[in-house]
C-alpha cells in the first residue's frame, strides 16, 4: 500500500506498510467562552454534537481509526463529566488495544497547578506523557471537526523526516486574519509562520505564490490563496521536550511554533483539503450541525470504515406519530408527536408534543427520561417541547423544557441578547441547559 501526495507539479510516493510509532495528545482544556452558554455547565469538548456525540469523540475516534493506541486527553475546566464520558465510552472490549489516559491539573498540598495555555498543559504533563516511548507525538484539539486520516499525516511527517509537521488547509483572504499562516517552498517545508496577521504587508508576504497555488489543493477560482495551520502538530519526541524546556511561552500557536519555524530544525506542512471546522463560536457550532443534514460538505458519520464512537445507550428506536419530518435527524429514545420537524437535529430522549413545529433547530434532548421511576415518559409534564410551539433557528440545550404555546422566532434579527434562560448569539436563539420556559413565552416579549 502506498500514499501518493500531489503538490503543485510534484508527485511524491510514500510507503505505508509500517505502523508509525506515535502517541496522540488531545488538548481538551478549553473554557469555551465564545461558545457560552453551551459551555456554562460543561467544557467545550464536552458539548453535544450530532445528536448523540460529544466534540471530544471526533479526535479520539480519529486516533483510534488511525491505529494510535496511546492517547492522552488533557482537560481542565469542568472536566469531571468529560472524563466520565471518556471512561464509559472507551473502556469497552472493542477498545481493548487502546489506552486512554485522562490528565487534569494536579493538586499539590495547598495549591492547584492550572494550565496557562496549550503548550503549558503539555509541559506540565511531560512526566506522564514521556512514559510512552513514542518516536512522534501528535497534538490534536478537543473541539475540531475533521475526517482526516491521521496515518497519512504521520507517514508524510516520517517521510519528510521533519522535526515538526503542521497540518494545514488552504484558505481565502477573508479567513486569513483569524488563523496562523504558513509560508512554504516547493518541497512543502515551512520557512515562516505568523499567528492571526492583520497587517496588509504581512498578509501579502504569506500569500501563496502562483506557481505553488495551482496544485490540486487550491481553488482555481480563488484569486488570493493562503495556507493556514489547523492546530494539529506532529513533533519528534526530543524536539517537543527540548522546546517545552527551552521556550518559556505557554501556547503552541503564539509562542512555540514561531520560535521554531525557520530558525532551527526541519518543519513541513501537510496540506489537507477535506472538511475541517473549528468549533469556536455559536455560529460555527450551528453551521456545522446544519451541515450534517446536507451530507454534502459536513462531517460524515455514515462510514463503517471510519466510525465515530460514542457512549452506548440502550434506547429504543424513535417513535414518530402523525408528524411530517423533512431533512432531519431523529435520535434514539425520542417520542415525536409534533406537527412538523424540518431541517432539524433532534437528540436522545427528546419528547415533542402535538401541534409543535421545529424548523432549522437543534434539540439536544435529555440525559435521561424526564419522569419518575416506574412512570411512562408520556405522562403529563415530562416533555421537551410542549403543545403548539413554533421554534425556528434555535438551540435547545440538554434538559431544557419548553412549555405550551411558546414561540421562539428571531423575527427582529437580533444579533445579541441576554435573558435569564434564553439568549441570542450571532442571531441564533439558545435555551440554556435545564431551563424551564413558561407557557405562552415569546421572544418578542423577552426582548421588549
- CATH for 442: 2.160.10.10
Q: Does residue 289 sit in the same domain as residue 323?
A: no
Q: Does residue 244 sit in the same domain as residue 380?
A: no
What's the number of domains the chain is made of?
A: 2
Q: What is the pLDDT along the chain (448 residues), one digit of tens a residue?
A: 334 443 443 434 434 445 789 999 999 977 778 899 999 988 899 999 999 999 999 999 999 999 999 999 999 888 888 999 998 888 765 666 788 999 988 655 455 578 888 999 999 999 999 999 999 999 999 999 998 889 999 999 999 999 999 999 999 888 888 899 999 998 999 999 998 888 999 999 998 876 665 455 555 555 678 999 999 999 999 999 999 999 988 999 889 998 898 777 899 999 998 899 999 899 999 999 999 998 777 788 888 888 899 888 889 999 999 999 999 999 999 999 999 999 999 999 999 999 999 999 999 999 887 655 555 555 445 789 999 999 999 999 999 999 999 999 999 999 999 999 999 999 999 999 999 999 999 998 776 5
- CATH for 9: 3.90.550.10
Q: Does residue 354 sit in the same domain as residue 252?
A: no
Looking at 257, 277, 294, the residue that finishes a domain is 294
Residue 313 lies in a domain: no
Long-range contacts of residues 247-253, Cβ cutoff 8 Å, at least 24 apart: 247/119, 249/117, 249/119, 250/115, 250/116, 250/117, 250/118, 250/119, 250/120, 251/117, 251/118, 251/119, 251/120, 252/117, 252/118, 252/119, 252/139, 253/118, 253/180, 253/195, 253/229
Residue 345 lies in a domain: yes
pLDDT value of residue 448: 59
Looking at 261, 294, 327, the residue that finishes a domain is 294
Q: Which residue range is the domain that position 390 belongs to?
A: 319-447
How far is the C-alpha of 298 from the C-alpha of 197, rounded, in Å?
Answer: 28
Q: Does residue 61 sit in the same domain as residue 210?
A: yes
Residue 256 lies in a domain: yes
How far is the C-alpha of 82 from the C-alpha of 366, rounded, in Å?
Answer: 16
Beta bridge partners of 277: 145
How far is the C-alpha of 106 from the C-alpha of 340, rounded, in Å?
Answer: 50
pLDDT value of residue 68: 93
Residue 310 lies in a domain: no
Q: Does residue 176 sit in the same domain as residue 282?
A: yes
Q: Does residue 279 sit in the same domain as residue 335?
A: no
Looking at 228, 260, 294, the residue that finishes a domain is 294
Residue 375 lies in a domain: yes
Q: Does residue 125 sit in the same domain as residue 10?
A: yes
Q: Does residue 344 sit in the same domain as residue 274?
A: no
Residue 96 lies in a domain: yes
Amino acid at each position: 500500500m502506498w500514499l501518493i501526495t500531489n503538490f503543485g507539479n510534484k508527485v511524491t510516493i510514500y510507503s505505508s506498510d509500517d505502523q508509525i510509532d506515535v502517541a496522540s495528545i488531545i488538548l481538551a482544556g478549553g473554557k469555551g467562552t465564545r461558545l457560552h452558554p453551551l459551555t456554562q455547565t460543561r467544557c467545550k469538548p464536552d458539548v453535544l454534537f450530532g445528536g448523540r456525540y460529544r466534540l471530544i469523540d471526533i479526535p479520539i475516534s480519529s486516533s483510534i481509526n488511525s491505529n494510535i493506541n496511546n492517547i492522552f486527553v488533557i482537560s481542565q475546566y469542568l472536566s469531571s463529566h468529560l472524563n466520565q464520558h471518556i471512561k464509559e465510552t472507551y473502556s469497552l472490549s472493542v477498545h481493548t488495544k487502546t489506552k486512554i489516559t485522562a490528565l487534569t491539573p494536579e493538586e499539590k498540598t495547598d495549591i492547584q497547578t492550572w494550565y496557562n495555555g496549550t503548550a503549558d498543559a503539555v509541559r506540565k504533563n511531560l512526566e506522564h506523557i514521556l512514559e510512552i516511548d513514542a518516536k512522534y507525538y501528535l497534538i490534536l484539539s478537543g473541539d475540531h471537526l475533521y475526517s482526516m486520516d491521521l496515518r497519512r499525516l504521520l507517514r508524510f511527517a516520517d517521510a519528510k523526516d521533519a522535526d515538526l509537521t503542521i497540518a494545514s488547509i488552504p484558505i481565502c483572504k477573508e479567513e486569513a486574519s483569524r488563523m496562523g499562516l504558513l509560508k512554504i517552498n516547493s518541497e512543502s517545508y515551512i520557512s515562516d509562520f505568523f499567528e492571526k496577521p492583520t497587517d496588509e504587508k504581512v498578509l501579502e508576504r504569506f500569500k501563496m505564490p502562483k506557481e505553488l497555488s495551482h496544485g490540486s489543493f487550491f481553488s482555481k477560482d480563488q484569486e488570493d490563496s493562503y495556507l493556514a495551520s489547523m492546530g494539529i502538530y506532529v513533533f519528534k519526541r526530543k524536539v517537543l521536550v527540548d522546546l517545552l524546556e527551552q521556550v518559556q511561552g505557554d501556547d503552541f500557536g503564539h509562542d512555540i511554533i514561531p520560535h521554531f519555524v525557520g530558525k532551527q530544525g526541519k518543519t513541513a506542512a501537510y496540506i489537507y483539503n477535506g472538511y475541517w471546522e473549528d468549533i469556536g463560536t455559536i455560529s460555527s457550532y450551528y453551521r456545522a450541525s446544519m451541515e450534517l443534514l446536507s451530507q454534502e460538505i459536513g462531517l460524515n458519520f455514515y462510514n463503517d470504515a471510519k466510525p465515530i464512537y460514542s457512549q452506548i445507550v440502550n434506547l429504543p428506536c424513535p417513535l414518530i406519530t402523525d408528524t411530517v419530518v423533512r431533512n432531519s435527524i431523529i435520535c434514539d429514545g425520542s417520542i415525536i408527536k409534533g406537527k412538523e420537524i424540518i431541517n432539524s437535529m433532534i437528540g436522545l430522549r427528546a419528547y415533542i408534543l402535538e401541534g409543535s413545529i421545529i424548523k432549522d433547530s437543534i434539540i439536544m434532548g435529555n440525559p435521561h427520561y424526564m419522569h419518575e421511576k416506574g412512570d411512562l415518559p408520556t405522562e403529563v409534564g415530562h416533555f421537551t417541547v410542549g403543545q403548539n410551539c413554533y421554534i425556528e433557528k434555535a438551540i435547545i440545550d440538554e434538559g431544557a423544557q419548553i412549555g405550551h404555546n411558546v414561540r421562539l422566532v428571531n423575527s427582529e434579527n437580533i444579533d445579541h441578547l441576554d435573558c435569564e434562560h434564553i439568549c441570542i448569539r450571532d442571531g441564533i436563539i439558545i435555551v440554556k441547559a435545564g431551563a424551564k420556559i413558561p407557557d405562552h413565552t415569546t421572544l418578542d416579549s423577552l426582548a421588549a
